[in-house]
Structure 1
């Protein structure tokens, strides 16, 4: 007897509503997952993942579904709303994108990004957080860091930091000393770029907050940080604007070698 797959709850998010509609219209048309895949150019497993909310569809695929089902621009509009709406699952979705990434560009003006943190630096921020289970939070962050660097040179990393990040003695003098040493070690890796925006650069666009641009094989997605969370950005136009902002911040940053020297100067203050 074939396994009957329960439908997603379309009330959870717009992404789940889109996945729900994909399955509803496919079954109403009497199509199998394989037949639907032939319409949008994907394997059966990929269609199944989309209908389960595990994979995000793209514009051309939704356009093909609208043509096949005679739904005008329904699926294209649903995709637009899903991208623009708040996604309660954005954290796990970013993790999935990072697992698939071939490049990651990050800017932060307040804290060293998680992937570049020593465990002691991470623990200092975990202790200062509002989480109740500190050990569980630390374990999640440590696992995420480990997974990031396990990709080796298959993941190209560009990171831009404000000089203020180096100035803040997170965890105390010894913890910060080791953290700065760790930054210099990572900066020597051929697939890692670390650049610092010095105070002497004056005003720049970085005051808007942290950002991340995740390069996938077929497209880029973005993340814009904010208090109590952030927003996953998948609309091509918005991602392009985020990339331009990252580049404009980069114009204000020192060169890689000059940035190493800035880090060394702060390291000397810790010795």
Structure 2
């Protein structure tokens, strides 16, 4: 795609917003500099919005609607975009993940991809009858290179006890996976805690999510079956952080979590 072009408007709601921004700007004979002054941002930010590299914020949408008398056109589109599945979420997620300084991750269903052994990952991909299994397995394992950076990110991970109790791939695969979890948990940048079944109902039952801190700020990712979405709004990211803290309040301490993993590992014989 040419840097001056907008993405295919049919590919996602965010792409439609990028296309609409450029269309409305050009229809009014405005330059990117003029829109940048209107939104109180850099000219480069307008280029990124129109190229689909950045997402229009709610406040920016409201400013455009008022200035251009659109009848809340942009505000409504942003609202719908934030409610729905973003087909580009995984690409965006892995780009942020590779640059992460800190990752907060809660999962009540699976071992996170960064912590998966090849055997565990293969079993998951096979269960989904993935026609691109070998390629996807290589890509998943390659993502773990972030763990071996010269300065690796801090990893704050909360896992439901059920995650480490389900024999994904069979006893041998699961035993190897739990041994690897224990190994990773000994790294100084990894803080792994288990939410025991005895905790009962907690906010993690709503589903897995991540918060990634990069140099430019924080973003969230909320996962769902066959998709997910990127969370950019600061208020929503703060909500995810609060949710993580509340789940952490019912999790076992690090040492107790290791002992529980060791106990369950012994059961996979």
- TM interval, shorter chain, is 0.7 to 0.9
Aligned length: 268
Deviations 1:26-78 (A, max 9, x none): 33344444554455455544432221112223345445555765658554443
Unaligned runs of 5+ in 1: none
Unaligned runs of 5+ in 2: none
1:252 counterpart SS class:
coil
CA contact (8 A) 2:85 2:228 kept: no
- Structure 1, 117-126 or 258-267: larger mean CA deviation: 258-267
Distance 2:228 2:5 in 1: 31
- CA 1:194/1:134 → structure 2, altered by over 3 Å: closer, same or farther? same
CA distance in 2, matches of 1:42, 1:149: 35
Q: In the alignment, is the contact (CA less than 8 A) between 1:213 and 1:220 conserved in 2? A: yes
- 1:176 aligned residue (162, 170, 174): 174
- Name the SS of the counterpart of 1:230 in structure 2: strand
* Residue equivalent to 1:163: 161
Shift of the 6–213 alpha-carbon distance from structure 1 to 2, 3 Å rule, reads: closer
Distance 1:189 1:242 in 2: 25
Tell me the residue number matched to 2:204: 206
Note the alpha carbon deviations across 1:54-109, whole angstroms, 9 max, x for none.
22233454455557656585544433332223322222232233344332211112
Partner of 2:88: 89
Alignment of 1:48-197 (within 5 A): 48-62=47-61, 65=64, 69=68, 74-146=73-145, 148-151=146-149, 153=151, 155-197=153-195
Tell me the residue number matched to 1:266. 264
Deviates further, 102-111 or 209-218 = 209-218
2:249 is paired with a residue whose SS is: helix
Matches within 5 A, 1:201-240: 201-217=199-215, 219-240=217-238
Q: Distance in 2 between matches of 1:216 and 1:73?
A: 32
**Segment drifting more, 130-139 vs 92-101:** 92-101
Contact between 1:121 and 1:176, CA under 8 Å: does it hold in 2?
A: yes
Q: CA RMSD in A?
A: 3.0
Secondary structure in 1 matching 2:219:
strand
Give the 3 Å change call, closer, same or farther, for CA 96–32 of structure 1 in structure 2: farther
